[in-house]
Amino acid sequence: MQLRRSFLLALMVIAFIIFETHSCSEDRSVVPDPPPVIDNELLGANDLYFADADHGWVVGRIGTAVVTDDGGDTWTPVTIDELDIRGVYFSDTQNGWVVGREGKFYASNDGGYSWEKQVFTGYPQMDDLFEVRFVNATEGFILGYHGVFVTEDGGNDWVNNWLPIVEYRGAWSMTVVDEKNAYLMGSKWTDSDPELLYVTDDGGQTWSAVPGSNASILRGIVTIEFHDKQTGWAGGAAVMKTTDGGLTWAVQMETATIREFFIHDDMSVIGVGKESIIRTVDGGATWTDVAPVDERIVDLRAVHFVDASHGWIAGSGRELIIEGRSVNYTVVLVTTDGGATWSVREFSYETTGLGAAAVEETELLMYQ
């Protein structure tokens, strides 16, 4: 028995020596991965818009934007301004507008590859601007802290017929139904429980408060979207629906984080916010979160569809430290099946040395 044990031990020692000799003879050096490419294309994503299934635009902070002519397969970076760009809209594949901080207002007639600064004539002229929409070649709306600015001459002159009383306690969401009808979410903040919804039926010339839209009812709501004059959704810390023009609201989700909706029809709606993409196909009776489980997604902010199948979502992604360099990522998601599944594309931007003020987005002062 002792001889057998000695023989087995000798075999193990020999096998170990052979293994070590063979291992040392191999080249076991590790080739480091190349550092990731930092493209500096897009910092953050505040808004996006597609004119058709091919032509789209995403705008972000410190004047960055990207343009696609092939549905998002490839993107071209564009620099518009040094300040945040908050809203983008194109009336066709060539003609569009963007708005941003401190009254920034630009127009493009070459598909968004070059931009010409416009003289913003609305009062106050240095108002921070958030959204822009044109309903035809001459009539358009811009949303700012101090309400909705309206143009009837293609953007040459703008008039603000809605002004808050308390500075920077104004408007924060807008939805345009057609040339005459639109809704504004804001407040004049003179009452203890003010109405938060205003409506126009004359193209923005006059606005009236909607009874039943008080702050105590729409508490935590930051965005609205209407399908028509009667049916609309409100989102934020919850999801609510109205079918009577905002007079009454029914809670459909008690807990949510929604920044923007896109309405296909009175049954099909998409809502986005943070890491969530919620979808309903029954008018909101049931909602399903269809967001992919992906660590690259941090804060989704904008959504747009061009038909029942093709849609895009944009938002903020990860912030990483790579070899001592601060890098912020922006994500753009695309679906071709109506939102059931999504693919994710990342854009990188080095923020080393930019400072917190240039990187962090200024949040609206909302009623909570």
d(CA 163, CA 147): 6
Task: State mean pLDDT over 179-186.
Answer: 94
d(CA 182, CA 333): 29
Look at the block and give the residue holding tokens 């001592």. 324
d(CA 247, CA 263): 20
For 293-314, give the DSSP string: --TT--EEEEEEESSSS-EEEE
* 320-341 residue pLDDT tens: 999 889 999 999 999 999 998 9
Instruction: Write out the two tokens for 184.
Output: 């504004």
Determine the length of the chain.
368
Strand partners, 332: 314, 345
Of 164, 90, 174, which is closest to residue 129 (Cα–Cα)?
174
Look at the block and give the residue holding tokens 């609309």. 232
128 within 8 A of 145, measured Cβ to Cβ: yes
73 to 25, 56, 77, 120: CA distances (angstroms): 46, 11, 13, 34
Assign 3-class secondary structure to 225-272. EECCCCCEEEEECCEEEECCCCCCCEEEECCCCCCEEEECCCCCEEEE
First to last CA, the chain: 83
Q: How many CB atoms lie within 10 A of CB 55?
A: 21
pLDDT at 362 over 50: no
What's the mean per-residue pLDDT of the chain?
A: 87
Instruction: Write out the two tokens for 152.
Output: 């009837």
pLDDT at 301 over 60: yes
* 137-164 residue pLDDT tens: 899 999 998 889 999 999 999 999 887 7
Q: Which phi and psi angles does 102 have, rounded to 5°?
A: 55, 40
Identify the band that residue 69 occupies on the pLDDT scale cut at 50, 70 and 90: very high
Helices marked H in the chain: 2-25, 356-359
Report, in angstroms and rounded to the nearest whole number, the Rg of the chain calculated over CA atoms.
Answer: 26
Residues 6 or more apart whose Cβ sits within 8 Å of residue 118: 97, 105, 106, 107, 155
State the pLDDT at residue 272.
98
pTM: 0.86
pLDDT at 165 over 90: no
